[in-house]
Structure 1
């Protein structure tokens, strides 16, 4: 930083030169303010490339590891996405119940519907292009079951998807 006596007095110069000095000083001050704010931000940023750790980031196994800060917009968007996907899974289960046939297996209370993947794909693909992802999500929630890790159009057209109505009606 310059000392106050190092800065020339604008009254000593012509009007044009004085305006340039004042505008350059303002530009310098603005740049310094931005630089200080950015440095402060980087001090709190756990992803900064600065090698000196200044912020203790949550460690694996801690309660807030991998979670957005409470009350943040990221947390709000995550909740909204969770709700949206939940509705899509419910729509998928309802479509399987509508398209499917009463199954041979016994569910907890005997209400089971089955449908082949190819038939479901033909009917449901116009509703959602995320069918396989939704099927995996519904299986993870134990709403339905099918053989294999993933279902592929063409190859797994005859794979049977089983919806247990008792798990769907929880």
Structure 2
């Protein structure tokens, strides 16, 4: 069988599943392997916390950008936060494109007062109620996407916010 000392040496010399590449059959976990994995995670977390502005660590090495700088208010380059932000921006842009296509497909050309030169021009327009009934099958974020599209000057409508039922007759027109 062996002494207690021999079994301890055997346990320390075994390769942990974290160290084995591609071998999922072995489920042997040694104390040494667990300790090494914990130390690795702990070191990485400590390093991450040094760059975290919300950490309570007194030895922070955070470089805080000042207002007016290009990177002020932006996540660190290459971070997961930056990646998520870019993915969200892409997703919202696609939603806005789908909204504009929906307005084109169910809308009608209507006369619109021209701001420049006093002339009237035609623009694709639809009432909010009709758009809501059509677009609810596509996405449940119609009002938020409409506000974002208005901010990008792709659509125009009266009022700050649109409410289902109350603002069903508000005309939403594409800006082209």
Q: TM-score scaled to structure 2, two decimals?
A: 0.68
Aligned to 1:90: 97
Q: 1:56 aligns with which of 59, 63, 67?
A: 63
Alpha-carbon contact 1:96-1:120 (below 8 Å) kept: yes
What secondary structure is seen at the aligned counterpart in 2 of 1:66? coil
Q: Tell me whether 1:45 sits opposite 2:52 in the alignment.
A: yes
Structure number with greater Rg is: 1
Alpha-carbon contact 1:106-1:112 (below 8 Å) kept: no
Q: TM-score scaled to structure 1, two decimals?
A: 0.70
- Cα distance in 2 for residues equivalent to 1:121 and 1:58: 43
Deviations along 1:8-33, whole A, 9 cap, x unmatched? xxxxxx9426866997x959x74666
Q: 2:165 aligns with which of 154, 158, 165?
A: 154
Aligned to 2:4: 16
Q: Tell me whether 1:141 sits opposite 2:139 in the alignment.
A: no
What secondary structure is seen at the aligned counterpart in 1 of 2:69? coil
What secondary structure is seen at the aligned counterpart in 2 of 1:95? helix
- What's the C-alpha RMSD, in Å, of the aligned pairs? 3.1
Higher relative contact order (CA 8 A, sep 6+): 1
Matches within 5 A, 1:112-127: 112-127=123-138
Deviations along 1:139-169, whole A, 9 cap, x unmatched? 00111111111101011111111212x2xxx
Query: Which segments of 5 or more consecutive residues in structure 1 lack a partner in the other structure?
Result: 1-13
Deviation of residue 75 (structure 1)?
2.6
Q: Call closer, same or farther: CA 1:51–1:117 in 2, change over 3 Å.
A: same
- Cα distance in 2 for residues equivalent to 1:40 and 1:95: 48
What secondary structure is seen at the aligned counterpart in 2 of 1:111? strand
